[in-house]
Amino acid sequence: MNKGVAIITGGAKGIGKAIAQRMVEDGFTTVVVDMDKEAGEKLPDELGEKCHFMMADISNSNDVELLFEKVIAQFGRVDVLVNNAGIIRDNMIWKMSEHDFDRVMDINLKGTWLMCKAASTIMREQKKGRIVNIASRAWLGNPGQSNYAASKAGVVALTRVLALELGRSGILVNAIAPGLIDTPLTQKLPEDVIEKLILAQPTRTMGIPEDVAHTVAFLCDERMQFITGQTIYVDGGKSIGAGI
């Protein structure tokens, strides 16, 4: 059964790859967009023929324009957009460079905005669509992440505004705020830091990419028709006690 066309940004690894796998399993023609060509080109073999890879930098408006032209030429429509691509460049504000602030904002917030803008033009014509933005629990505040937390707070606000703007066109827009999830991004952290972070979770566990993928699948399920503008925490309960 073909459920339509889903675009997943940053789907070459980590959380995005688990989302892409779940979308394929759920019957979507799935287009993974990533800058990592090597990992991306392996995906159709790994996830099956319903998975396609297109290389693009989502922070570049020309790349985004070309990407949507290609998707429409090849598949004709866009039913789901999952904005998952994101980076961290952590440091205390007194050590953070302007470049690291700009890069995080460019990819996490502007990139998400560019993708939403392009997708919403198509979805408004279709009078149907789902957008899921991957924010982060860190938008509530995390030392060393002034750039990242601000970018993800922007993603939460963007989600709320787009829900208001696009609801009448049959488009639902939600965000997911993951907590600590085991991916190549978090595997770079020192072991003692990971241990401390795990202890800060009420569940005392680390999440897995599939925890986020399940939530995306729920938000994109046709049986779900009345949730929009919300941010769902997938964080082992850490958001309840922000700052533990």
58 sits near ligand NAD (criterion: CB under 6 A): yes
Asked about 148 being catalytic, the answer comes back as yes
Q: Please enumerate in sequence order all residues whose Cβ is within 8 A of that of 94, keeping only pairs 6 or more positions apart, or say none.
A: none
Please give the helix or strand (H or E) that residue 38 lies within, else none.
Answer: helix 37-47
Which listed range, 21-29, 69-77, 79-87, 215-223, lies at the site for ligand NAD (CB under 6 A)?
Answer: 79-87
The angle formed by the CA atoms of residues 146, 94 and 109, to the nearest 5 degrees, is 25
Distances (CA, A) of 4 to 8, 12, 17, 244: 13, 20, 18, 42
Q: Please enumerate in sequence order all residues whose Cβ is within 8 A of that of 99, keeping only pairs 6 or more positions apart, or say none.
A: none
Which listed range, 11-19, 45-53, 65-73, 160-168, lies at the site for ligand NAD (CB under 6 A)?
Answer: 11-19
Which listed range, 8-16, 65-73, 97-105, 123-131, lies at the site for ligand NAD (CB under 6 A)?
Answer: 8-16
The residues in 168-187 that bind ligand NAD, with binding defined as CB under 6 A, are 178, 180-181, 183-186
Comparing CB distances to ligand NAD, the nearer of 4 and 10 is 10
- Confirm if 24 and 36 have CB atoms less than 8 A apart: no
111 sits near ligand NAD (criterion: CB under 6 A): yes
Active-site residue numbers? 148
Residues that bind ligand NAD (CB under 6 A): 9-10, 12-16, 33-36, 57-59, 84-87, 107, 111, 134, 136, 178, 180-181, 183-186
